[in-house]
Chain A
Amino acid sequence: DGGITQSPKYLFRKEGQNVTLSCEQNLNHDAMYWYRQDPGQGLRLIYYSQIVNDFQKGDIAEGYSVSREKKESFPLTVTSAQKNPTAFYLCASRSRGERDTQYFGPGTRLTVL
């Protein structure tokens, strides 16, 4: 089955720790995105990547880092510099050859203890 997978589904972090959220897609999509979703605030763009080895900051990149070494993978690291990391994190992908929209993974719920 083609799709986007995110792992883990739930993640708990102690304050001061870095954690990495995984996002993998087998849709052969070029562009990938990370969003953060908080209650009442909708989706906010953290980082996006249009091609391998290239990525750009979104609206709320501070305290986050990403890499794009493979087309299929776009991991997000939540660093200790992110002051309020508890949220639902969503990864999405889009192909340049298809209609201009994005397809989402199932999400990772990160909780800071």
Chain B
Amino acid sequence: QKEVEQDPGPLSVPEGAIVSLNCTYSNSAFQYFMWYRQYSRKGPELLMYTYSSGNKEDGRFTAQVDKSSKYISLFIRDSQPSDSATYLCAMSAMYSGGGADGLTFGKGTHLIIQP
């Protein structure tokens, strides 16, 4: 079983729809959860950051973490064509400096918002 599972898509939705992107994970030690957005041939940019369980909202974006189910979600409201990109989930067990402190990434979901 992979540590982080993410459906690669593509996920195609009409403009204005609510988008739901998800990742599941197996390592119960993960405490820090991130979503990155990556446009084609560009570096990933940090979109959302959450610690432990709960929700976090930033504009049209809401990140949700359910540690009991080992499941995280990113919701995009009023989706726009400019939201078309690959969305990567990432997570980490240890705060900075603790051993092998690289992030564990999902493979990314390719999202297409149709005008």
Contact = CB atoms under 8 A, between A and B. Distances in A.
Contacts of B92: 100-101
A13 interface: no
B107 A31 contact: no
18 contacts: A31-B96, A40-B107, A42-B105, A43-B105, A48-B100, A48-B102, A56-B100, A58-B102, A88-B41, A94-B96, A97-B96, A100-B92, A100-B95, A100-B96, A101-B32, A102-B103, A103-B46, A104-B43
Interface string B60-104: 000000000000000000000000000010101011110011110
Given A31-B96, A40-B8, A56-B100, A101 B107 contact: no
Interface centre among B34, B43, B97 (most CB of A within 10 A): B43
Contacts of A102: 46, 90, 103
B102 A45 contact: yes
Interface string A47-64: 010100000101000000
A96 interface: yes
Contacts of A31: 96-97, 101
Nearest to A88: B41
Given A50-B101, A94-B96, A102-B46, 8 more contacts: A30-B96, A40-B107, A42-B88, A42-B105, A100-B94, A104-B36, A106-B43, A109-B41
A43 B86 CA distance: 12
Nearest to A57: B100
Nearest to A99: B49
Q: Tell me what chain B mostly uses at the interface: helix, strand, loop, or mixed.
A: loop
| Interface residues on chain B, size class | 20 to 34
Interface of B: 8, 32, 34, 36, 41-46, 49, 51, 88, 90, 92, 94-97, 100-103, 105-108
A14 to B, nearest CB: 23
A75 interface: no
A100 B32 contact: yes
Interface string A61-100: 0000000000000000000000000001010001111111
A59 to B, nearest CB: 8
